[in-house]
């Protein structure tokens, strides 16, 4: 696609998106959220494993039904509905995934609060995914990880707890990395537009338009839900601007045709997978500080299931100005 064609696609998609703006979407109020129990959410996710992995194909038409912009509808839902589980729904941008459970561990001193603070340990349910259509090793794959942190280390806690959610991605348009465990994923990912791939360009533009209409700026997912987690006064939270998640150096690599087999913990001798947590921010001169490694995620169980792909829900924090 040349630049003229790309500009035309953008104009067309903005026009379509403007029409969709007139649709009134009823969403749950965030104030109705009462949290969830870790054991219930994980047992639901594990309740219906696939007998055969689905290989979902995403098209521009996947985002529309009977004239309704499903992608915009989905973006509004994730911003306004904090539920950890929902009735069956389709994940439109990241339909192919594997769910993992484990612990979130902060081991190093740092200036941030909540569950970024040194000594914090919480349970985590994560969903690793690829963007858009299923793709095997050797094809372009955009790797992502959504995480749901519970402010407890007790998997059998009896009362509902509010969770802190995050999203990190390497490149929305994908790379040809052989391993999920070799990429770095951040909360402000790259979007590489490939002019020779009209389909990917059209999908990426369509998604960007709808995300921007739902929340702006659309290319960053802030981290304040983690820095506020467990705090009595969230107004005192200190939040990093960026977070990076990357598999631990030296972590065993499983070469697999399907990334879901690569992350299947049954394929690891000790049944565990480690990812390191890095954070950074801009300083007073508006220069980006160096990445600071502050801890790690340890995953100890995994499942590929219908509820993982269609019931587990991750809330996108709305963008807000943060003064640290």
Q: Which residues in the chain land under pLDDT 70?
A: 1-31, 60, 64-67, 70, 193-219, 283-287, 323-324
Report yes or no: 94 and 126 within 8 Å, Cβ to Cβ. Answer: no
Determine the pLDDT at residue 179.
Answer: 97
Helix axes 198-214, 70-80, angle to 10 degrees: 40
- Domains in the chain, number: 1
Q: Is 119 inside any structural domain?
A: yes
Instruction: Tell me which residue range forms the domain holding 22.
Output: 3-27+35-310
Considering the domain boundaries, does residue 189 fall inside one? yes
What's the sign of the alpha-carbon dihedral 36, 296, 188, 133?
negative
* pTM for this entry: 0.84
- Across the strands, what pairs with 105? 121, 296
In angstroms, how far is CA 197 from the centroid of its own chain?
25
Q: Is residue 15 part of a domain?
A: yes
Alpha carbon distances (Å) from 181 to 18, 22, 134, 213, 297: 39, 42, 18, 33, 13
Q: Show Cβ contacts of residue 252 under 8 Å, excluding neighbours closer than 6 positions.
A: 268, 269
Quick check: is 105 in a domain?
Answer: yes
Residue 272 within a domain: yes
- pLDDT value, residue 172: 79
Give the pLDDT of residue 24: 33
Distance separating alpha carbons of residues 221 and 124, to the nearest angstrom: 18
| pLDDT at residue 59, rounded to an integer | 73
Supply the pLDDT for residue 277: 98
Q: How many CA atoms lie within 13 A of 49 on its CB side?
A: 12
Q: Look up the CATH number of the domain holding residue 217.
A: 2.40.180
In a domain, residue 318? The reply is: no
DSSP 286: S
Residue 315 lies inside a defined structural domain of this protein: no
Task: Tell me the C-alpha to C-alpha distance, in Å, between residue 240 and each of 10, 114, 269.
Answer: 33, 11, 35
- Alpha-carbon distance 322 to 239, whole Å? 8
Q: What pLDDT is recorded for position 287?
A: 67
C-beta separation of 90 from 63 below 8 A: no
DSSP string, 258-281: SHHHHT-GGGSTTS-EEEEEEEE-
Domain assignment present for residue 316? The answer is no
């Amino acid at each position: 696609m040349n630049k003229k064609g790309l500009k035309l696609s953008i104009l067309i998609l903005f026009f379509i998106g403007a029409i969709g703006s007139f649709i009134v979407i009823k969403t749950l109020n965030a104030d109705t959220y009462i949290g969830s129990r870790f054991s219930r959410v994980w047992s639901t996710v594990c309740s219906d494993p696939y007998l055969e992995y689905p290989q979902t194909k995403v098209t521009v038409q996947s985002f529309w039904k009977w004239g309704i912009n499903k992608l915009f509808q989905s973006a509004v839902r994730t911003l306004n509905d904090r539920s950890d589980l929902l009735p069956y729904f389709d994940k439109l941008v990241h339909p192919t995934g594997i769910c993992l459970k484990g612990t979130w561990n902060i081991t190093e001193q740092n200036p941030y609060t909540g569950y970024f603070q040194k000594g914090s340990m919480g349970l985590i349910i994560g969903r690793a995914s690829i963007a858009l259509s299923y793709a095997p090793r050797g094809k372009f794959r955009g790797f992502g990880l959504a995480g749901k942190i519970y402010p407890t280390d007790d998997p059998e806690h009896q009362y509902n707890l509010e969770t802190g959610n995050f999203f990190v991605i390497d490149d929305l348009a994908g790379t040809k990395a052989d391993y999920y465990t070799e990429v770095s994923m951040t909360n402000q990912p790259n979007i590489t537009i490939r002019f020779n791939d009209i389909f990917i360009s059209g999908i990426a533009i369509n998604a960007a338009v709808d995300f921007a209409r739902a929340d702006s700026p659309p290319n960053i997912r802030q981290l304040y839900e983690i820095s506020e987690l467990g705090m009595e006064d969230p107004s005192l939270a200190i939040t990093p601007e960026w977070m990076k998640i990357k598999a631990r150096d030296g972590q065993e690599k499983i070469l697999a045709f399907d990334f879901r087999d690569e992350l299947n913990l049954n394929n690891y001798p000790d049944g565990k997978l480690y990812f390191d947590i890095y954070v950074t921010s801009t300083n007073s001169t508006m220069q980006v500080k160096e990445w600071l490694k502050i801890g790690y995620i340890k995953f100890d169980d995994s499942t590929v299931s219908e509820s993982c792909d269609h019931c587990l829900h991750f809330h996108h924090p709305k963008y807000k100005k943060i003064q640290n």
